[in-house]
Amino acid sequence: MKESKNALNIVWLKRDFRLEDHEALYQASEDEDHVLLVFCYEESIYSDAHYSDFHLDFIKQSLVEMNASLQTFETKVLSIQAEVIPFLDWCKAKFGQIKLWSSQETGLNLTFQRDIRVGQWCKTNGIEWEEFQNNGVIRGLKDRSTWSADWGKFMRRKIKPINLHNTNFLSLTQIEQFETNFKAFGTSTKPKIEVQKGGHVQAKFWLDTFLESRHEGYNRHISKPVGSRLHCSRLSPYIAWGNISIRQIYQQTVQRKKEIKDKRNLSSFMSRLRWQSHFIQKFEMEPRMEFEAHNKGFLNIGYEHNEKYIKAWKKGQTGFPLVDASIRCLMATGYVNFRMRTMISSFFSHLLFQHFAEIGPWLARNFLDFEPGIHYPQLQMQSGLTGYNTVRIYNPTKNAKDHDPEAIFIKRYVPELRNLPPNLAIEPWTLTAMESELYEFDLERDYFLPIVDMAEARKIALSKLYGHRKEPLAKKEKERILNRHTIPRRDNSWNSK
């Protein structure tokens, strides 16, 4: 055990609930002074509409697992209900000398402003705050000319082992002094069978089983609402909340690719690892995407708020079975696959022609894997507000026929349609009078009429979106966005050598 000079190293956990490949913890552990891991449940943050019990339970489960691992070292994560600055004030008064360590966070404006205030507090109080790069996101970039190469270097860099045995952690007894001055953040949760559980052990389980065999159906099932639940990696919540790093996943996947003959599924998976960082990098460089159109030429596109549409969409009562099944599944489990996410977003923004900001927070609190840096750039893209991406208006009926032809997913989450044959469960508005009598099903009584005429709504949306693309400002913004965010072609330096 190192001898302490009675100062304190505070490792502030935000979205990095792990004890491996954690640069802030590694650097703090190398210091001879005491080390304290802390999570602050900040009411000002977690009461925001973007967060829900899905997220808090996942955090709690992650903390429980971390504390189980830390028992060997007679320490734990201090988990309290407190705003960060009052907590730091108390630590400074208690210890005199403190140092703050954390991972960089590409978050909402809410957390960004919080971090600015923390930075100002540190500067005013002469406190050193060290932040470290998180996954493949790089702060301060002006364009993407070197991003792919930098991303690849970061992913291939050797992971530094953290010597927890030799870290000068505060003891459980010492941590009790903190707990008497702050309200504890309870970590008990009620298990939910359909919702993934947080923690590094769970992350490793999903990664190991995916690389062992589940990846074999990755490309075939990635768009299927049922098959994707097994054959996609399902690592997204563990990445979003930092139970495992992208680098850990990348390096283990590279090793597994060397061991198998058919590398196509894992190659596809690895490309999506990079795209994960790519979207967060976009948000890091232009965080205003949380609130308004990425392409400023679309700021006045003319959305008309329709409360009836919004409520029906949020309840899964649009009259389009695959849309409703996806919404209800999301509310129940915190997960739907990427294809269903893009479809329900496109349906809202295009066919209902509503502004993405109306559902941004709602979707966030229902996505267990809510990651601000992916969430808002994706909503922008699926809404057609970039001015350069192809406008994709997903047809929910075609998608149901292509990806849920037996209506297994639809019937699971829209039980009103359970007694209909697959073709009618997908298109219940096509029932004839005879079929309605045969199946004892009335569309208006037992389900919902389609909320819009899909063909007409699609025509209107395309006219408005492509019409705006011709505007001078939209064209100018398109060039600005492409110059700033486009990754150079033929840049394969991110890939494994």
Contact 231, 220 (CB under 8 A): yes
Provide the CB-side half-sphere exposure for 169 (13 A, CA): 24
Chain centre to alpha carbon of residue 430: 37
Contact 219, 255 (CB under 8 A): no
DSSP string computed for 288-313: GGGTS-SSGGGTTS-----HHHHHHH
Chain centre to alpha carbon of residue 321: 25
Reduced to 3 states (helix: H, G, I; strand: E, B; else coil), residue 51 is: coil
CA 50 – CA 115 distance, rounded (Å): 18
DSSP string computed for 399-427: HHHHH-TT-HHHHHH-GGGTTS-HHHHH-
Q: Residue 235 has which token pair?
A: 């690592």
Q: Residue 41 has which token pair?
A: 């449940």
Evaluate the CA torsion angle 390, 391, 392, 395 in order and state its sign: negative
Element (H or E) spanning 266, and its range? helix 264-285
What single DSSP character describes residue 357?
Answer: G
Given strand 98-103, what is the order of strands in its sheet? Answer: 128-132, 98-103, 8-12, 34-41, 78-81, 183-184
Q: Which residues are annotated as a binding site for FAD?
A: 218, 269
Q: Which residues are annotated as a binding site?
A: 218, 269
